[in-house]
Amino acid sequence: MTPERFTRIDQMLQHRQTDLTVCMEKVHKLHNLAAIVRTCDAVGISEVHAIWDHPKMRLSGHTATGSQNWVQVKAHDSITDAIKVMKAQGMQVIATNLSDTAVDFRQIDYTKPTAILMGQEKDGITAEALALADQDVIIPMVGMCQSLNVSVATALMLYEAQRQRELAGMYQPKTDHIEKQERDRIMFEGGHPIFAKLCRQKDLPYPEIDDEGQIVASEDWWQKVQMSKTAWTEIDND
């Protein structure tokens, strides 16, 4: 990894908002999924949640323009499971929904740990999810259209969250908000993508990363990276 690459990734990690996320409930159009993940990366979100209609659905590198390399998409079997995970992290769950109790999305305090729940393109958020949310919000509209594209609506809310957090000083550089193992993973996958791919192909553990972004690994690890998996027995038997 070049020093320039290391510095860029390190600066990105220093601004990550680990207590802000998005939960996509059955959003199924790939261009919307990609746009949401890309916006999440842009405002400093490193992890989003998703409930898929199809169990094998995922973002491709071409569709997501590389943003999926920096934002983890965690899939859940149900919206109940997803919200349970987010609430266990102390997050308020905000849902876009036109209801009697809904407030302007800008009235929410996004400096609190927050999960923004976005629903499927046609039918919106399910009744099950709405029952689990802490607050409904609306995006005021004065035109003839009744709703925005899901990725556009997500972007509006995320940039309001960013605005509030910047005013609160929450984008000041920090180094202790991401665990070392997770930091090493991001550094390794982003700074050493070829070796990361080989590790995944060969079921090898990721190595540690030093303070300059370089790989710290045993000779055994280096040999296995460069050898075919069938040849590993020669090393293991030595």
Binding-site members for S-adenosyl-L-methionine are: 96, 139, 148
Q: What is the DSSP string of 130-165?
A: HHH-SEEEE----SS-----HHHHHHHHHHHHHHHH
Q: How far apart are CA 188 and CA 70, in angstroms?
A: 11
**How do strand 135-138 and strand 114-118 relate by DSSP bridges?**
unpaired
Using CA atoms in the order 138, 118, 92, 111, what is the torsion angle rounded to 10 degrees? -70
Q: How far apart are CA 7 and CA 100, in angstroms?
A: 48
Q: How far apart are CA 117 and CA 24, in angstroms?
A: 6
Q: Which residues contact 16 (CB under 8 A, 6 or more apart)?
A: 44, 45, 46, 177, 178
Binding residues: 96, 139, 148
Query: Is residue 236 classed as helix, strand or coil in its secondary structure?
Result: helix
- SS3 letters across 160-176: HHHHHHHHCCCCCCCCC
**Measured CA distances, 29 to 54, 57, 74, 119, 121 (Å):** 12, 10, 17, 12, 8
Q: Which element (helix H / strand E) includes 204?
A: none
